Amino acid sequence: MTTVDDSPSTPLGGTVSSSTGNGAAAAPTQSFSVPRRYFADSSDWESELERIFRHSWLFVAHESEIPEPGDYVTRLMGTDQVIVSRTESGDVRTMLNSCTHRGTLLCKADVGNASHFRCGYHGWTFANDGKLTGVPRYRELYGADFDKASFNLRAARTESFHGLLFATFDADQVSLRDYLGDMAFYLECFLGVSAAGTEAPYGAFRFLHQGNWKLEADNFSGDGYHLRHAHRAGFDLGLMGSQAGSTEGVCIQFEHGHTIRAQRTAGVEEIAFPGYPEERWPEIRSQLSPAQVEMFANSTVMHGTIFPNLSFLHTPRAGGFDPGDVDAAMVQLRVFNPVGPDTTDELCWLVAPTDYAEDWKESAFKTMQRQHGATAFFESDDMENFRRMLQVNSGVETRARVAANFDLAHDHAPYEAWFDGPGNIVGSDISEVNQRWFYQHYLDLMEG
Ligand code: FES
Ligand SMILES: [Fe+2]
């Protein structure tokens, strides 16, 4: 007869948190792990939608996607379908894309321009600000006193940060600016380089991937560890672009679970902005504060996650991909919407300074598509791992008793931060400090 050891084979949870002066949860100070069921379990996915997605500020569109009155895009906020519309008065509204009569999907297109949306079932008609304006035969069938105003589309709060539109259905959530908090300082480094602002010149790109949404959010939050292994072929083949000198990095954590990893060329005195046209450098210096210039100068990469599901990647690339390409800096946004515990609906945008030259934007776009398009080499490397993680995390024994570990550089990181600015700065380039931060906030919401 054999006996079964029913104790967990790796610790489940086991985190310690405390409060910092700015109200953010402190980084876990002990061994940190996340039960694998959170990456595969349907009931946990339902809880995520309720506890996290329903209450967070979620990125829905770039303002440049809907510049004119009547322009709209249809998007997801978690699993809720929404219309993001520029109204006749120029405001932006984010509304549930569901007829308030019996609930049919109201707008079936991804993008368009319309003054009204007419339901395909019984013909109720809504203005592009969500007001119910037309109900066939309502005097005869509902009565002349039928109150149309009580059937307007359900609207979310919508706020903008440097052209990035976020929405939330939580009336009690803090303002978007307060939600971003100290992270705004860093986002402005690349969103604020031009007085003309930013645009998403090529619109949004969409694909489904078979994996849990958190794997990408944690990867973008600060996984410098996987680069030389998962993406080794890209380095070996010289597809990663040139990089002068050695680099040094910092990880930065913010209230509400946001994270950034920033890396720069080490030991350079001269202030340079790689990827940006040299004639625009004086403008960058005038647009940014001295502290932002210090952070952004000689940047080799900056990436992070705005909790829960918007990640960004800023990286300059010298020489583009093909002969004749100009130097450019890619800013990519990507949103991970969990349409199931095992399926993620992704949207990606290139964001560029509005008044930069077309060949600069095209070079940046080529970098995004060649590295991170749905079939690009970076993407393929990561997706293979994410699919395999889903495959094993779905196992019953795995979900019940095994955890994912995040102890990298717990006590062994080279803690010498080269930057002293907003947020909790940890002088660690290759570590899992940011993943611990992301998941600590996640677990606080899921288990709190
Ligand atoms: S469901 Fe839209 S009009 Fe009936
Ligand atoms: Fe990767």
Residue 27 lies in a domain: no
Residue 53 lies in a domain: no
Could you give the 3-state DSSP secondary structure of residue 286? helix
Note whether 49 and 90 are within 8 A (CB).
no
If we measure between CA atoms, which residue out of 217, 184, 171, 247 comes closest to residue 344? 217
Identity of the residue numbered 235: F
- Residues present in the chain in total: 448
Same domain, yes or no, for 123 and 193? no
CA geometry: angle 111, 99, 55, nearest 5 deg: 80
Q: What is the C-alpha to C-alpha distance for residues 350 and 90, in angstroms, rounded to an integer?
A: 24
**Tens digits of per-residue pLDDT, 14-63?**
443 333 434 345 556 689 999 999 999 999 999 999 999 999 999 999 99
Q: What is the pLDDT of residue 1?
A: 34
Nearest CA to ligand 1 atom 1: 102
Q: What is the C-alpha to C-alpha distance for residues 110 and 96, in angstroms, rounded to an integer?
A: 14
CA separation (Å) from 14 to 34, 127, 203? 9, 52, 43
Q: What is the pLDDT of residue 413?
A: 66
Peptide bond between residue 308 and the one before it cis (omega within 30 degrees of 0)? yes
Nearest CA to ligand 1 atom 4: 122
Of 13-17, 288-292, 390-394, give the range with the top mean pLDDT: 288-292
Residue 20 lies in a domain: no
Same domain, yes or no, for 193 and 99? no
**Residues linked to residue 146 through DSSP beta bridges, in sequence order:** none
The alpha carbon of 80 and the centre of ligand 1 are apart by a number of angstroms equal to: 18
Identity of the residue numbered 36: R
Choosing from 160, 194, 217, the residue where a domain stops is 160
Same domain, yes or no, for 334 and 424? yes
Q: What is the pLDDT of residue 251?
A: 95
Choosing from 160, 194, 225, the residue where a domain stops is 160
Same domain, yes or no, for 331 and 441? yes
Q: CB neighbours (10 Å) of residue 139?
A: 10
Residue 354 lies in a domain: yes
CA separation (Å) from 23 to 218, 247, 272, 305, 424? 22, 32, 35, 19, 11
Residue 6 lies in a domain: no
Lowest-pLDDT range of 65-79, 98-112, 273-287, 367-381: 367-381
Same domain, yes or no, for 249 and 344? yes
Where residue 290 sits, what CATH number does that domain have? 3.90.380.10
Same domain, yes or no, for 189 and 153? no
**Residues linked to residue 333 through DSSP beta bridges, in sequence order:** 312, 349
Total domain count, the chain: 2
Contacts of 306 (CB under 8 A, 6+ apart): 57, 59, 180, 183, 258, 312
Q: Is residue 101 in contact with ligand 1, taking CB distance under 6 Å?
A: yes
Note whether 108 and 121 are within 8 A (CB).
no
Nearest CA to ligand 1 atom 3: 122
Give the domain extent around 365. Answer: 182-447
Which ligand has an atom closest to residue 381 CA?
2
Chain-centroid distance of CA 102 in Å reads 33
Same domain, yes or no, for 154 and 186? no
Where residue 115 sits, what CATH number does that domain have? 2.102.10.10
Per-residue pLDDT band for 210 (boundaries 50, 70, 90) equals: very high
Percentage helix, strand, coil for the chain under 3-state DSSP, each rounded to 5? 30, 25, 45
Q: Is residue 122 in contact with ligand 1, taking CB distance under 6 Å?
A: yes
Q: What is the C-alpha to C-alpha distance for residues 182 and 175, in angstroms, rounded to an integer?
A: 13
Same domain, yes or no, for 246 and 127? no
Q: Is residue 104 in contact with ligand 1, taking CB distance under 6 Å?
A: yes
Could you give the 3-state DSSP secondary structure of residue 85? strand
Residue 174 lies in a domain: no
If we measure between CA atoms, which residue out of 219, 199, 229, 225 comes closest to residue 259? 219
The alpha carbon of 225 and the centre of ligand 2 are apart by a number of angstroms equal to: 9
Which ligand has an atom closest to residue 225 CA?
2
Q: What is the pLDDT of residue 215?
A: 97
Q: Is residue 118 in contact with ligand 1, taking CB distance under 6 Å?
A: no
Same domain, yes or no, for 278 and 129? no
Contacts of 150 (CB under 8 A, 6+ apart): none
Give, rounded to a whole angstrom, the gap between the first and last alpha carbons of the chain: 42
Checking if the pLDDT of 11 tops 80, the result is: no
Beta-strand relationship, 71-77 and 80-86: antiparallel
Same domain, yes or no, for 266 and 364? yes
Same domain, yes or no, for 224 and 290? yes
The continuous run of DSSP H or E covering 433 comes out as helix 433-447
Q: Is residue 99 in contact with ligand 1, taking CB distance under 6 Å?
A: yes
Q: For a pLDDT cut of 90, what percent of the chain falls above it?
A: 81
Same domain, yes or no, for 153 and 225? no
Residue 310 lies in a domain: yes
Q: What is the pLDDT of residue 318?
A: 87
The alpha carbon of 125 and the centre of ligand 1 are apart by a number of angstroms equal to: 9
- The dihedral sign for the CA sequence 234, 240, 245, 246: negative
Choose which residue among 99, 142, 148 to substitute to test ligand 1 binding: the one with the highest number of ligand atoms within 8 A of its C-beta. Answer: 99
Per-residue pLDDT band for 242 (boundaries 50, 70, 90) equals: low
Note whether 40 and 342 are within 8 A (CB).
yes
This prediction has a pTM of: 0.93
Choosing from 129, 160, 191, the residue where a domain stops is 160
The alpha carbon of 130 and the centre of ligand 1 are apart by a number of angstroms equal to: 14
The alpha carbon of 44 and the centre of ligand 2 are apart by a number of angstroms equal to: 25
**Tens digits of per-residue pLDDT, 303-321?**
999 999 999 999 999 888 8
Q: Is residue 105 in contact with ligand 1, taking CB distance under 6 Å?
A: no
Arithmetic mean of pLDDT over the chain = 91
Q: What is the pLDDT of residue 373?
A: 83
Choose which residue among 98, 100, 104, 138 to substitute to test ligand 1 binding: the one with the highest number of ligand atoms within 8 A of its C-beta. Answer: 104
